[in-house]
Amino acid sequence: MSDAYQEAHDLSLTDPAAFWGKAAEDIHWVKRWDKVLDESNPPFYRWFVGGELNTCYNAVDRHVEAGHGDRAAIIYDSPITGTKRTTTYAELKQQTASFAGVLADQGVTKGDRVIIYMPMVPEALVAMLACARLGAVHSVVFGGFAANELATRINDAKPKVVVAASCGLEPGRVIAYKPLLDEAIRVATHKPDRCVILQREQKPGDLIAGRDVDWAEAVSSARPHDCVPVQATDPLYILYTSGTTGQPKGVVRDNGGHAVALKWTMKAIYNMEPGEVYWAASDVGWVVGHSYICYGPLLHGCTTVVFEGKPVGTPDAGTFWRVISEHKIPVLFTAPTAFRAIKKEDPNGELLQKYDLSHFRTLFLAGERADPNTITWAQAQLKVPVIDHWWQTETGWAIAANCMGLQEFPVKLGSPTKAVPGWNVQVLGEDKQPVAPGQIGALVCKLPLPPGTLPTLWNADDRFRQAYMDEYPGYYKTGDAGFVDEEGYVYVMTRTDDIINVAGHRLSTGAMEEVLANHPDVAECAVIGVHDDMKGQMPLGFLVLKAGVTKPHAEVVAEAVKMVRETIGPVAAFKKALVVNRLPKTRSGKILRGTMQKIADHEEFKMPATIDDPDILPEIEDALKEVGLAK
Ligand code: COA
Ligand code: AMP
């Protein structure tokens, strides 16, 4: 039996410079690196120091120069608008160079930040690649966030330019992005110089004279801009993700390590060959969209799919099969929740029978725990390997996976298989020492992390240390808990912080609590994630009202729900809250969110030894029963 996995994994840990130095040969460098790994300033590790490259060149121009200009780079498939459009690599080069020219005309140069607020249209990729072409740093903001969240990101990233679409399309409704953008800029303390607006016919936006520029008009007069070489260690993008507070964390990605690692994963993990079509059914606003809608497939010379639709309802639960069949897609990557949604609508897979999926090879799932039922259902329907893999915005690519291009292992349900080469995954107990196989503890990764992971947080080195590095010196804290079995299979069970996962979207309950606490009638509050059959988890709020509030509880709850939607956005999916008299706490005043969640999810729990007043728990249980939760 081949030991390709073990050999690669061993080498990646014993001699990371040799392992990644070899992988880096697959990338085009303007100047070769001086050192593969600089370990002189831990925990700030740097990859390919002294090297110069351009990520856009590697993702686009390089393929055209190699004679693949006619190959499809992007397939845009939008069941919502009824549009299908293919962009070749030659066209993508021309569009990206022109849009880089537009950005340069607006004063964007190397190192400047550009915020991109766009839905799933190919222009979102063009905007990202154009920034990379100039050496500018993009920060894509997901369309499901409200103006306030966009403003927070504008204030932190301080963009010179914002690139936005006039609208996004959700099934049955048009989301006007332009008013959200205008409101975000109004409340932000930092003001971008310019906004470039892609006018979509479903809802064009009103342009503000002197500030806003029309995308199409600007492109028509732009001079194409060439690729600007950057340092391997220069930032390519910032992607904000939920932390424990309302202030999101700006995960930084560099250019060199990112290009090397992503290109390597396309073959090693996904077993893709250049020229094949790769589909990540996610959104450009999430890390999956960055790594596997935009950069990974293009760096590897694959065709990527920009899908503007949902797994169900656009128009039905057979859409995924239609797209796979029509575009001859061998590999799909999506979140388990998408499959749960399809299973709910079409439990017997009848719609699947309408399509030829004979070329389909592998389904990859990530973004949340893949429950065994979903995996076995997908296996039974598709009759191909269903591969769970575990990763995070911070890591940019998988920490644990079944590396299909290296060596396939038998799937164990509930496990994303083994640590990917580059990753030294350990499980530490409360004493911060490794625990025995099979024992649950904190999942951590021994430093240095492989290339393509986060070198730091944007303008927040201290927060980087404190959030990820301080608790377990010498290790990166993933924030997940789980175990590793005797055979090295990793199991990811739960988060150790207040982050919840709703429909594959990572959300901070702390951020929701911050919003609820601003309601004038709320004295105290807590938000927990409760089990949901389709979305995995759903947020649930508990509100303790101020003394003397006589307003009907339903009214306060409706206002609270509206506040979260307006402040964080519809993606928070905050729809339920309960009014209670008191919250269970420890004697030191910490709210016992974990215990509340266990009661709601019918899980066994131990009465916390530190609980201040055990009599509160039955009250919580009664309140949960009233809304159909708890036993
Ligand atoms: N712009 C504006 N609003 C958005 C949005 C966007 N880009 N994305 C989602 N929303 C809105 C939805 O319309 C919904 O609004 P509503 O409360 O008015 O119905 C709300 O945010 C919650 O969205 P979501 O949690 O996605 O629920 P849904 O019912 O619309 O769809 C699924 C459920 C399972 C079909 C959908 O979540 C899905 O396809 N998930 C795949 C997850 C995924 O791609 N994850 C990325 C990591 S791999
Ligand atoms: P995000 O940063 O949005 O990608 O979310 C990362 C978090 O999602 C991880 O820390 C996990 O809690 C969860 N997650 C992602 N993939 C998996 C998986 N395959 N199994 C279990 N949890 C996962």
**Residues 205-221, mean pLDDT to the nearest whole number:** 98
* Ligand closest to the CA atom of residue 490: 2
- The residue whose two tokens read 């601003």 is 518
Q: Is the CB of 291 under 6 A from ligand 2?
A: no
Ligand 1 nearest atom to the CA of residue 534, by list position: 34
Query: Which parts of 376-460 are beta strand (E)?
Result: 386-388, 400-401, 418-419, 425-428, 441-446
The per-residue pLDDT of the chain, averaged, comes to 96
pLDDT at residue 94, as a whole number: 98
User: Phi and psi dihedrals of 517, rounded to 5?
Assistant: -65, -20
Dist. CA 182–CA 175, nearest whole Å: 14
Ligand 2 nearest atom to the CA of residue 394, by list position: 2
Output the pTM of the full model: 0.96
**Residues 409-419, mean pLDDT to the nearest whole number:** 97
SS (H, E, C) 93-126: HHHHHHHHHHHHHCCCCCCCEEEEECCCCHHHHH
Dist. CA 420–CA 399, nearest whole Å: 6
Q: Measured in whole angstroms, how far is the alpha carbon of residue 567 from the centre of its chain?
A: 20
- Ligand 2 center from residue 579 Cα (angstroms): 31
- Ligand 1 center from residue 537 Cα (angstroms): 13
- Ligand 1 center from residue 171 Cα (angstroms): 10
* Ligand closest to the CA atom of residue 443: 2
- Ligand 1 center from residue 571 Cα (angstroms): 6
Q: Is the CB of 182 under 6 A from ligand 2?
A: no
pLDDT at residue 616, as a whole number: 93
**Residues 392-420, mean pLDDT to the nearest whole number:** 98
Q: In the chain, count H helices and then E strands.
A: 20, 31
pLDDT at residue 246, as a whole number: 74
Dist. CA 100–CA 252, nearest whole Å: 21
- Ligand 2 center from residue 405 Cα (angstroms): 22
pLDDT at residue 245, as a whole number: 73
Cis peptide before 43 (omega within 30 of 0): yes
Residue closest via CA to ligand 2's atom 4 equals 392
Q: Is domain 4-309+389-469 in CATH 3.40.50.12780, yes or no?
A: yes
CATH classification code of 499-626 = 3.30.300.30
Contact indicator for 156, 241 with CB cutoff of 8 Å: no
Q: At what angle do helices 372-382 and 336-345 cross, to 10 degrees?
A: 70
Out of 310, 316, 532, give the residue to mutate to test ligand 1, the one with the largest number of ligand atoms within 8 Å of its CB.
310
**Residues 321-329, mean pLDDT to the nearest whole number:** 98
Label residue 628 by pLDDT band (50, 70, 90). confident
Torsion, Cα of 283, 284, 289, 291 (10° steps): 180
Q: At what angle do helices 553-567 and 147-157 cross, to 10 degrees?
A: 40
**Residues 281-286, mean pLDDT to the nearest whole number:** 97
Q: Is the CB of 501 under 6 A from ligand 2?
A: yes
pLDDT at residue 9, as a whole number: 98
* Ligand closest to the CA atom of residue 508: 2
- Ligand 1 center from residue 397 Cα (angstroms): 22
What are the domain boundaries of the chain? 4-309+389-469, 499-626
- Ligand 1 center from residue 339 Cα (angstroms): 14
- Ligand 2 center from residue 479 Cα (angstroms): 10
Contact indicator for 165, 264 with CB cutoff of 8 Å: no
Out of 118, 150, 170, 532, give the residue to mutate to test ligand 1, the one with the largest number of ligand atoms within 8 Å of its CB.
170
Q: Measured in whole angstroms, how far is the alpha carbon of residue 207 from the centre of its chain?
A: 31
Lowest mean pLDDT among 376-385, 468-477, 499-508: 499-508
SS (H, E, C) 453-466: CCCCECCCHHHHHH
pLDDT at residue 160, as a whole number: 98
**Residues 239-254, mean pLDDT to the nearest whole number:** 89
**Residues 306-317, mean pLDDT to the nearest whole number:** 98
pLDDT at residue 530, as a whole number: 96
Q: Measured in whole angstroms, how far is the alpha carbon of residue 252 from the centre of its chain?
A: 13
**pLDDT tens figures, 497-531:** 889 999 999 999 999 999 999 999 999 999 999 99
Terminus-to-terminus CA distance in the chain, angstroms? 50
Ligand 1, CB cutoff 6 Å, lining residues: 119, 143-144, 168, 170, 175, 282-283, 286, 288, 310-312, 335, 337-338, 341, 366-367, 502-504, 535, 570-571, 573
Residue closest via CA to ligand 1's atom 37 equals 503
Q: Is 49 helix (H, G, I), strand (E, B) or coil?
A: strand
- Ligand 1 center from residue 47 Cα (angstroms): 36
**pLDDT tens figures, 150-184:** 999 999 999 999 999 999 999 999 999 999 999 99
Contact indicator for 72, 87 with CB cutoff of 8 Å: yes
- Ligand 1 center from residue 143 Cα (angstroms): 10
Closest by CA position to 149, among listed 69, 248, 63, 227? 248
The tokens describing 80, both together, are: 């919502």
User: Phi and psi dihedrals of 441, rounded to 5?
Assistant: -165, -165
User: Phi and psi dihedrals of 94, rounded to 5?
Assistant: -65, -45
Examine the pLDDT at 1 and tell me if it is beyond 80.
Answer: no
**Residues 101-112, mean pLDDT to the nearest whole number:** 98
CA-atom Rg of the chain in angstroms: 24
**pLDDT tens figures, 533-588:** 999 999 999 999 999 999 999 999 999 999 999 999 999 999 999 999 999 999 98
Residue closest via CA to ligand 2's atom 7 equals 392
- Ligand 2 center from residue 329 Cα (angstroms): 25
Closest by CA position to 200, among listed 168, 247, 244, 229? 168
Out of 333, 499, 501, 505, give the residue to mutate to test ligand 1, the one with the largest number of ligand atoms within 8 Å of its CB.
505
Q: Is 353 helix (H, G, I), strand (E, B) or coil?
A: helix
Interior/surface letters 71-89, b for 16+ CB within 10 angstroms, e for the rest: bbbbbbbbbbeeeeeebbb
Label residue 207 by pLDDT band (50, 70, 90). very high
SS (H, E, C) 419-432: ECCCCCEEEECCCC
The C-alpha angle 347, 281, 262, rounded to 5 degrees, equals: 135
Residue closest via CA to ligand 2's atom 15 equals 367
The tokens describing 581, both together, are: 């008299």
Examine the pLDDT at 610 and tell me if it is beyond 80.
Answer: yes
Examine the pLDDT at 126 and tell me if it is beyond 60.
Answer: yes
Q: Is the CB of 537 under 6 A from ligand 2?
A: no
Residue closest via CA to ligand 1's atom 42 equals 504
Residue closest via CA to ligand 2's atom 21 equals 369
The tokens describing 49, both together, are: 């120091």
Contact indicator for 568, 515 with CB cutoff of 8 Å: yes
Percent of the chain with pLDDT over 90: 95
Ligand 2 nearest atom to the CA of residue 506, by list position: 3
